[in-house]
Structure formats: C-alpha cells, structure tokens
Structure 1
Amino acid sequence: MPPMPNRGPVGPSTADKLKMGAMMGGTVGTIIGFIFGTVNIFRYGAGPNGIMRTLGQYMLGSGATFG
C-alpha cells in the first residue's frame, strides 16, 4: 500500500479566525470611538461625567459594537 500524500500546510482553525476577527473589530471600534468621542467632547463638552469617563464610554460602546 502506498503512503498517504502530504496535504501541505494547514491554515488557522475557524475558532482562530473568529478570535482574530473579534480582536480586529474591537480595536477598530475603539479607535473610531476615540475619534468620535473626542469630536463630540470638543463640540458639546464633557458633561457631568468629565472628559475621561465620557471618552471611555464612547470607546467602550463603539468597541463592543464592532467587536
């Protein structure tokens, strides 16, 4: 019986692809949240929560949406 042929290199699994996509989406969302949050703070002010908390809320919300 002849030996089995080599299949070549194996790519990433489906779970690896899902994790990579979630990380990339979360990163892009966080950056977009930073940009839009900064623009809105400049336009309308930070409000009662302060600059850092308001900006963090924009970044987390956008990162969770895209990720």
Structure 2
Amino acid sequence: MITQKDFLKFAFEEAINEVNPNSVDKDVAKATIATGMKAYADREGCKFTDEEIAETIEAGLKELDKANEDYEH
C-alpha cells in the first residue's frame, strides 16, 4: 500500500527534476520544488500540508547534499 510519505517522496522526486538546486538560490529552489509538489498533489488527488511539503523538501535537499559530498570524495 502506498503511504502519504511515499506520495510526498514521489512528488519531491518529480519536482526536483524541474530545478537544479545547486544552480539557483536555495529559497528559489525550495519555492519551485514546493510548487511542483503542489501540482503533483492536485493532479494525483493527494492532500499535502505546507508543513509536510517543507519537511520533505528539507529532507530531500539534505539527502542530495550528502550524496554530493560522497561523490566529491
């Protein structure tokens, strides 16, 4: 069964493909990702709170930063 957390992750993964967070200001990247996640929710009939979106974005960007650090070493 797909959980709310899964839908949030799917939405983040789709939205992150629309912006390179390393090439724009972090606030712009976060706003762009949030907009994409809201569009995903509307399209898929999901309901995400602003808090859920913000938490998912923070966690996702941290994961990407960690992967980038690992790659650089």
TM range (shorter): 0.3 to 0.5
Say which one has the larger Rg: 1
| TM-score, normalization by structure 2 | 0.39
| TM-score, normalization by structure 1 | 0.42
